[in-house]
Every structure is written in C-alpha cells, then in structure tokens.
C-alpha cells in the first residue's frame, strides 16, 4: 500500500471515529440519553432499565410500598427532562399524521409501561426522530469524508448506512416500547392464577377489595404486582371500581383480565361474593395460560424448519456439495 493509500485509510478511520462520537454526543444532547426513556449517562440508563422495566427484574417491592412509591417518583422526576424543544416540536408535528390505530396502540403500551412516570408516547416518538436525524447526519458526513479522502471502503459503508440507520433509529424506541409492553403482559398472564387464588383467600377471610389487592400486589411482585398496586391506589383515591377495572383491562389488553373486570363489575352490581368470583376466574386464567403455552409449542415445527433451511442446509451444501461442484468445474471430476 502506498503513502496515498495509507493516508486515505487513516482519514477513513478518523472520519468513522468522528462520526461515532458525533452520534454519541448528539444523542445525549438531543434525547437526553442513549435509550428511549431518557437519562444522562449509561449508569442511569442501566438503573432505569433494571428498576422500571418488568421484563428485566423479578418480583420486588410492591408498588404500594414506600420503596415502590419512592422509585416511581424518582422515575417520574427524571423522565422527559432531557428532550429538546426541537425533538418535541418534530414529534408534535408527526403525531397527528400517524394512523389512528398506531396512535392508540402507542398510548396503550405507554400507559402500561410508562404509567406513573411523566411524559407521553410522543416522547418516545421524539427519541426516534432525534436518533433518525442524527444517524442520517452521520451517514452524510461519512459520505463527505469518503469523497474527500477517496476511500472506497468508507463509501461502501456509508451508502447502506444512509438507507438503514435512519429507519433503524426511528423504529428502535417504538419497538422497545412494544417489547416492554409485551413482556409485562406475559408476566401478568403467567402470575394471574396464583394472584387470583390469593385474592379469593383474602376476600373469603373478610378483607375488602382494596385490602385484598394490596396483599396480592405485595406477594405477586413484577408486572402484575405493579398493576394490582396501581388498581389499589386508584380505588383508595376514590375512583369507581368499574372505571378502574375498565382502565386495567384496556391497559393490559388480555382476555383473562377483561373477563375478570367484567365479572367483578357484575359482582358489584348484583352483590355476589367476591371469593366465588375469584375462584371461577382462577380456573379461566389457568385455562388461558395453558392454551397460550400450547400455542407457542405448536409453532416449534415451523421455527425448526426455518432454522434447518437457513442455518443447517447452507453448511451441509458447503461441506458436501461445494467441493464436488468445484472439482467438476475444474475438470477433475
């Protein structure tokens, strides 16, 4: 490699490092952190992910406890503080132009995952728009550096980045919000029958519904514990049972929870003992959980077939077929 090629390579490496630094510092300045929930450092992001996302934590303190309320208050105080006015303005312009079904889905997922924290789903969209703009700027800067240095390597890397990085930056916060909501729903569905058993025992022992919810939230933990604690807080704050249960069913969007909400509303209207309702709903929740597991098991043959086609068959072709093809082409068959 000549002196000109070595200089071009050094310029390419320097441009790549500069672009990466620009993206990192730009994301911190624009979005207040590297993740879609904000923050000012990687350690703060790690604490928030381990402290507020249910799919990354096990059963812990109940939401109604003092430690749970303190953690929720700290998360609400730190949420949304790092977003710039430009990102919020861009998200405010894009939000009304999104399809109504997508807006409703984002609001439902945010209410489930981000409930109790400040902000709204437009903050997640603002993070995505900021990341997409910065990724596009970094890709254009890399193209400019490739043109100045004449480096073919950085030019080949820059053109795909123009097409891939901005959509990826836009979709990542939205997909992460959907993943967290799906994770919490899975946790709720897994722990619901045991929590309903505990609610049946508490109501049969003479506790009213808010007290029974508090006991169940303390023992359930995780996503279901947070939702039961939130329901208890709403009832203690004076919200009507039908409204609180309707909001819970809308957030979780799970058939057993919707069935439970309807049964409790009917029991309140007719005066049916809550313990009997809880026992009936426990059997329904266990049936639903078993059916969900069976449905996931039923998809295994298709997944294994795809793995065999895309991973195993290419390796078999390279080992068994490709040498014979090369020998035939070379006239050594």
The answer to whether residues 179 and 202 belong to one domain is no
The answer to whether residues 9 and 146 belong to one domain is yes
Long-range pairs for 86-90 at CB < 8 Å and ≥24 separation?
A: 86/30, 87/30, 87/31, 87/126, 87/127, 87/129, 87/130, 88/122, 88/123, 88/126, 90/126, 90/129, 90/130
Tell me what the pLDDT averaged over the chain comes to: 74
Residue 55 confidence (pLDDT)? 44
Number of domains in the chain: 2
Residue 75 confidence (pLDDT)? 41
Q: Which residue has the higher pLDDT, 162 or 283?
A: 283
Q: Which pLDDT band, with edges at 50, 70 and 90, does 39 fall under? A: very low
**What is the average per-residue pLDDT within 46-71?**
40
The answer to whether residues 60 and 105 belong to one domain is yes
Q: Which pLDDT band, with edges at 50, 70 and 90, does 22 fall under? A: low
Q: Tell whether 311 is covered by a domain.
A: no
Residue 42 confidence (pLDDT)? 34
Q: Which pLDDT band, with edges at 50, 70 and 90, does 59 fall under? A: very low
Q: Which residue has the higher pLDDT, 33 or 114?
A: 114
The answer to whether residues 201 and 92 belong to one domain is no
pLDDT of 64 strictly over 60: no
**What is the average per-residue pLDDT within 258-287?**
86
Q: Which residue has the higher pLDDT, 57 or 195?
A: 195
Residue 282 confidence (pLDDT)? 86
The model scores a pTM over 0.75: no
The answer to whether residues 27 and 136 belong to one domain is yes
- Using CA atoms, how far apart are residues 201 and 169, in angstroms rounded to an integer? 48
Percent of the chain with pLDDT over 70: 72
Residues in the chain: 333
Q: Tell whether 316 is covered by a domain.
A: no
**Domain range for residue 262?**
191-297
Q: Which residue has the higher pLDDT, 10 or 216?
A: 216
Q: Tell whether 267 is covered by a domain.
A: yes
The answer to whether residues 172 and 195 belong to one domain is no
pLDDT of 27 strictly over 60: no
The answer to whether residues 150 and 208 belong to one domain is no
The answer to whether residues 146 and 7 belong to one domain is yes
The answer to whether residues 16 and 108 belong to one domain is yes
The answer to whether residues 197 and 119 belong to one domain is no
E strand or H helix at 262, and its extent?
helix 255-270
Choose one of 130, 162, 185: the last residue of a domain.
Answer: 185
Q: Tell whether 61 is covered by a domain.
A: yes
Q: Tell whether 271 is covered by a domain.
A: yes
Choose one of 168, 185, 202: the last residue of a domain.
Answer: 185
- Per-residue pLDDT of 300-317, as tens digits, reads 888 888 888 888 888 888
The answer to whether residues 180 and 195 belong to one domain is no
Q: Tell whether 156 is covered by a domain.
A: yes
pLDDT of 80 strictly over 50: no
The answer to whether residues 132 and 153 belong to one domain is yes
């Amino acid at each position: 490699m000549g002196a000109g090629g070595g200089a071009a390579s050094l310029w390419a490496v320097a441009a790549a490092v500069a672009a990466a630094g620009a993206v990192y510092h730009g994301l911190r300045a624009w979005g207040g952190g590297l993740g879609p929930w904000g923050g000012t450092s990687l350690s703060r992001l790690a604490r928030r992910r381990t402290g507020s996302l249910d799919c990354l934590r096990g059963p812990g303190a109940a939401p109604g406890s003092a430690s749970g309320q303190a953690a929720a208050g700290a998360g609400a105080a730190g949420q949304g503080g790092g977003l710039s006015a430009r990102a919020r303005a861009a998200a405010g312009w894009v939000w009304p132009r999104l399809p109504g079904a997508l807006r409703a889905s984002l609001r439902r997922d945010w209410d489930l995952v981000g409930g109790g924290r400040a902000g709204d789903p437009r903050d997640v969209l603002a993070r995505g728009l900021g990341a997409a703009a910065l990724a596009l700027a970094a890709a254009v800067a890399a193209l400019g550096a490739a043109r100045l240095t004449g480096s073919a390597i950085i030019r080949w890397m820059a053109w795909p980045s123009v097409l891939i990085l901005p959509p990826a930056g836009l979709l990542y916060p939205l997909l992460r919000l959907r993943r967290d909501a799906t994770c919490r729903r899975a946790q709720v569905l897994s722990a619901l029958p045991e929590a309903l058993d505990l609610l049946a025992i508490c109501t049969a022992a003479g506790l009213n519904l808010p007290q029974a919810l508090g006991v169940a939230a303390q023992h359930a933990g995780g996503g279901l514990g947070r939702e039961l604690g939130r329901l208890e807080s709403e009832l203690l704050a004076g919200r009507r049972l039908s409204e609180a249960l309707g909001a819970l069913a809308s957030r979780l969007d799970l058939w057993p929870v919707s069935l439970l909400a309807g049964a409790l509303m009917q029991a309140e209207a007719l005066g049916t003992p809550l313990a009997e309702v809880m026992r009936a709903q426990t059997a329904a929740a266990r049936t639903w959980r078993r059916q969900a597991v069976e449905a996931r098991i039923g998809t295994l043959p298709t997944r294994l077939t795809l793995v065999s086609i895309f991973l195993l068959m290419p390796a078999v072709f390279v080992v068994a077929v490709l040498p014979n093809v090369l020998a035939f082409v070379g006239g050594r068959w």
